[in-house]
Amino acid sequence: MSGTHSQASPAAASNSPPAGSATRVAVVGAGIAGLACARELTRHGLEVTVFEKSRGVGGRMATRRTDTGARFDHGAQYFTVRDETFQQVVSEWLEAGVVTRWDGRICSLADGKPEPKEQVIPRYVGTPGMNSACKHLAEGIHIHLQARIETVERIDDRWRLRDTEGAERGLFDAFLTTAPAPQSAALLAAAPHLQKSAQSVTMHGCWPAMLTFDRRLEVDFDGAFVDHSPLSWIARNSNKPERTGMPDSWVLHASPRWTTEQLEQPSEQVLAQMLEAFWQATGHRSVKPSYSTVHRWRYAIPPEPLTQSCLFDHELKMGAAGDWCNGPRVEGAYLSGIALAAAVQNDQTSALDTTPLEGA
Ligand SMILES: Cc1cc2nc3c(=O)[nH]c(=O)nc-3n(C[C@H](O)[C@H](O)[C@H](O)COP(=O)(O)OP(=O)(O)OC[C@H]3O[C@@H](n4cnc5c(N)ncnc54)[C@H](O)[C@@H]3O)c2cc1C
């Protein structure tokens, strides 16, 4: 990854001077929406800094590595393409080798009976992990990792950011957030109409479980949508393309309803129940996993996103993007990030237009 994708200290962030007279833009979130937005703005000569609270990029297009050699996609499982702009980008990613088509054997599963599922449109996965496309997008972008932004204050006509330690993270002409809706709402207090829109979006949680087995399970599919179960999806992660050299590895997703009921339960209890549901759904005899863990996505999927491609206030130069604006999938998040970049650029080219706008 490029040298500009860095983990800089707070002091370095706040002291870095603006390059010439370029507009300085802060973007919260290095998921696909934030990275798409940052890349587009950087390409047009704006000085963009991304702040990401985690240790790496990708957001919910997440890949976790373990000491056992297994890698798990515990967020997004695959993505599909319907939009032409996104198709062009995916073609570039295919050429760069950071995604590939996944023709896995997918079925639906009710009470142990697998029914093959017809593949209507191609499914794609990141290679070697789901976060690979995001790592690719992050190249050349100025990113501060492990930087959780907590406050955004108006200082004259600019935005001052502070992190959770209270450290100043710089002054910016524009502030954009691509965090999930409830986390974005907390950062949009200075623009109550945008904050209200973000607050109106509910996000369901998801408990994923990650498992490896010393002996390959006798299960005859690669992924399954599960009915009548605490689980909604199971996948043999190690059978996805370019996941060679790892033990038999599985990802299970708990259903939104079950996750809501169990969201605050201890992880050991959640794991035990998900394992039990796995044996029941597959009809396989129960086997002790060689590795097992769960992760809690508090904000996984917005079942009813807004119908605006993004939010942007031209006067305040404050905006938001993400799957919760445009559609609860990877494609929707990417397109929302691009729409937000276009709104900021329009603002640059038509400085006379000061009408507040929601949705680009
Ligand atoms: C379990 C699960 C399964 C899914 N399955 C699929 C699927 O199969 N197909 C599909 O297309 N989509 C799927 N999705 C949805 C898809 O992952 C998302 O739509 C997409 O990745 C959202 O991207 P985003 O950039 O909008 O948000 P995110 O990826 O959530 O990025 C937002 C980023 O903001 C960061 N952040 C938050 N608050 C702050 C802060 N205060 N300061 C700094 N950083 C902050 C977060 O750490 C995160 O990295 C799934 C999601 C989950 C969780």
168 lies in some domain = yes
Q: Ligand 1 atom 26: the closest Cα is on which residue?
A: 322
> Do 223 and 242 share a domain, yes or no?
yes
> Do 193 and 210 share a domain, yes or no?
no
Q: Is the pLDDT of residue 105 over 60?
A: yes
Distance 215 CA to ligand 1 centre (A): 32
> Do 101 and 164 share a domain, yes or no?
no
67 lies in some domain = no
66 lies in some domain = no
What's the pLDDT score for residue 13?
A: 37
Last residue of a domain, one of 270, 285, 301: 301
> Do 309 and 322 share a domain, yes or no?
yes
> Do 140 and 286 share a domain, yes or no?
no
What's the pLDDT score for residue 21?
A: 65
Q: Ligand 1 atom 38: the closest Cα is on which residue?
A: 179
Q: What is the pTM of this model?
A: 0.93
> Do 248 and 112 share a domain, yes or no?
yes
> Do 252 and 278 share a domain, yes or no?
yes
Q: Between these two residues, 326 and 260, which has the higher pLDDT value?
A: 260
Q: Between these two residues, 284 and 18, which has the higher pLDDT value?
A: 284
Distance 202 CA to ligand 1 centre (A): 14
Q: Which of 39, 51, 54, 60 to mutate to test the pocket of ligand 1 (most atoms within 8 A of CB)?
A: 60
> pLDDT > 70: what percent of the chain?
91
Distance 301 CA to ligand 1 centre (A): 8
Distance 313 CA to ligand 1 centre (A): 23
What's the pLDDT score for residue 99?
A: 98
> Do 91 and 166 share a domain, yes or no?
no
Structure-block tokens of residue 149:
């932004």
- What is the mean pLDDT of the segment spanning 193-212? 98
Nearest Cα neighbor of 82 from 279, 296, 345, 335 is 335
- What is the mean pLDDT of the segment spanning 36-47? 97
291 lies in some domain = yes
Q: Grade residue 19 by pLDDT with cuts at 50, 70 and 90.
A: very low
Q: What is the secondary structure of 231-274 as a DSSP string?
A: EEEEEEGGGSTT-TTS-EEEEEEE-HHHHHHHTTS-HHHHHHHH
Q: Grade residue 205 by pLDDT with cuts at 50, 70 and 90.
A: very high
Last residue of a domain, one of 286, 301, 316: 301
> Do 160 and 242 share a domain, yes or no?
no
Domain count, the chain: 2
CATH classification at residue 45: 3.50.50.60
What's the pLDDT score for residue 350?
A: 64
Distance 56 CA to ligand 1 centre (A): 13
What's the pLDDT score for residue 221?
A: 95
> Do 277 and 216 share a domain, yes or no?
yes
> Do 294 and 311 share a domain, yes or no?
no
Q: Which residues pair with 207 in a beta bridge?
A: none
Nearest Cα neighbor of 312 from 22, 13, 25 is 25
Q: Rounded to an integer, what distance in angstroms lies between the CA atom of residue 239 and that of residue 261?
A: 31
CATH classification at residue 263: 3.90.660.10
Q: Ligand 1 atom 48: the closest Cα is on which residue?
A: 59
Q: Between these two residues, 20 and 309, which has the higher pLDDT value?
A: 309
Q: Rounded to an integer, what distance in angstroms lies between the CA atom of residue 347 and that of residue 328?
A: 27
294 lies in some domain = yes
How far CA 35 is from CA of 30, 77, 131, 307, in Å, comes to 5, 19, 12, 21
Q: Grade residue 302 by pLDDT with cuts at 50, 70 and 90.
A: very high
Residue numbers of the domain that contains 321: 5-59+134-201+304-349
73 lies in some domain = no
357 lies in some domain = no
> Do 282 and 150 share a domain, yes or no?
no
Ligand 1 atom having least distance to the Cα of 323: 26
Q: How many CA within 13 A on the CB side of residue 87?
A: 6
Tell me which of 3-7, 172-176, 186-190, 260-264 is least confident.
Answer: 3-7
pLDDT tens, residue by residue, 269-295: 999 999 999 999 999 999 999 999 999
Q: Is the pLDDT of residue 142 over 80?
A: yes
What's the pLDDT score for residue 68?
A: 81
pLDDT tens, residue by residue, 58-96: 999 999 999 888 999 999 999 999 999 999 999 999 999
